[in-house]
């Protein structure tokens, strides 16, 4: 079964809020969440999530770690994972907040080329009239598709997201092809590419380091610097991600998924998944399908 390259539920700001489906991108208006919190999003941070704030109009205070920035629309704020951030919006603010899981972000970078790698630090871009107009319409279309249930919704969402990300990188040359990037960023991207093609082969960290021509200690430094996690954690997360997709979007049995993902027997896969997700594969699938996730739920559940 073919399905869009997406991942299961992620937590968003607000405590118990979860994404409504097993998606790797979330889009909402600034008002949708900020109004619930008196237009004040307290400092917080995300793991594995990259965020774009599109302030179309209005004024806001953007808190990035210890710094406070007074901004006025039209402005874009990019926030990589693990950075503490918060917002204080005027009540007349309008715009969007787009949150992207890093596996999907890596997909966009592979599609657009290494020069499109996201910034390693938060970035604030004041938009000129041309850029503001193009991005305003693109964000509006992305939000409309996100809220819709039209045919080819997933493809439309990914198309608008790709356009936004391409414009963001292309409209700011300092972040694009002419920029000087640290060697560690190249190593991170190389590791991500290897992981994407080899996760089901269950290679150890030494294998990845050897393919990259660096030591395991160096690889550990790279992934902790750019992802805040060890290489082994990232390997396990990628494997768990694919398992989650298969459980939600296909009707393969647990045994079939175990085999596809390279486990020697289903019992080993079940133990791995329970440790990663806190639930057995059967429980995860039943909860995802009962919550209304799209995919193979209309077919007979085979576990």
The answer to whether 285 and 303 have CB atoms below 8 angstroms apart is yes
- What separation in angstroms does the CA of 246 have from each of 5, 67, 112, 279, 285? 11, 42, 27, 15, 9
Residue-level pLDDT at 302: 36
Its pTM stands at 0.56
Of the listed ranges 24-38, 50-64, 173-187, 249-263, the least confidently predicted one is: 173-187
Residue with tokens 């179309």: 56
Q: Report the run of H or E that residue 134 belongs to, with start and end.
A: helix 129-147
- For 158-186, what is the mean pLDDT? 68
Q: With bands split at pLDDT 50, 70 and 90, how would you rate the model's confidence at 219? A: very high
Q: How confident is the model at residue 39 (pLDDT cuts 50, 70, 90)?
A: very high
Looking at residue 182, its pLDDT comes to: 54
Q: What domains sit in the chain, N to C, each tagged with a CATH number? A: 25-175 (2.60.120.280), 183-290 (1.10.10.60)
> What's the average model confidence in pLDDT over 223-236?
89
Whether 137 shows a pLDDT value over 70: the answer reads yes
Residue, of 80 and 216, whose pLDDT is higher: 216
The per-residue pLDDT for 23 is 52
Tell me what the mean pLDDT of segment 95-113 comes to.
89
């Amino acid at each position: 079964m073919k399905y869009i390259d997406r991942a299961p539920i992620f937590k968003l700001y607000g405590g118990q809020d979860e994404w409504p489906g097993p998606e790797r991108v979330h889009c909402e208006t600034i008002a949708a969440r900020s109004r619930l919190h008196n237009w004040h999003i307290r400092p917080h941070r995300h793991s594995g999530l990259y965020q774009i704030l599109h302030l179309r109009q209005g004024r806001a205070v953007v808190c990035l770690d210890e710094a406070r920035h007074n901004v006025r629309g039209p402005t874009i704020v990019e926030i990589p994972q693990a950075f503490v951030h918060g917002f204080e919006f005027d009540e007349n603010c309008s715009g969007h907040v787009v949150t992207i899981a890093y596996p999907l972000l890596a997909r966009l970078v592979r599609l657009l080329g290494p020069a499109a790698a996201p910034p390693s630090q938060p970035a604030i871009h004041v938009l000129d009239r041309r850029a503001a107009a193009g991005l305003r319409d693109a964000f509006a279309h992305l939000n409309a598709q996100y809220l819709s249930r039209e045919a080819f919704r997933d493809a439309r969402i990914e198309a608008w997201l790709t356009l936004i990300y391409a414009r963001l990188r292309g409209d700011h040359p300092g972040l694009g092809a002419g920029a000087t990037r640290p060697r560690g960023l190249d190593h991170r991207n190389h590791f991500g590419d290897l992981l994407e093609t080899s996760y089901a082969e269950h290679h150890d960290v030494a294998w990845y380091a050897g393919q990259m021509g660096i030591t395991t200690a160096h690889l550990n430094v790279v992934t902790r610097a750019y992802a805040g996690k060890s290489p082994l954690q990232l390997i396990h997360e990628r494997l768990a991600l694919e398992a989650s997709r298969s459980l939600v979007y296909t009707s393969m049995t647990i045994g079939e998924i175990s085999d596809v993902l390279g486990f020697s027997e289903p019992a080993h896969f079940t133990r791995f998944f329970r440790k990663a997700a806190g639930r057995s594969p059967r429980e995860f699938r039943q909860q995802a399908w009962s919550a209304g996730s799209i995919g193979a739920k209309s077919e007979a559940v085979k576990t």
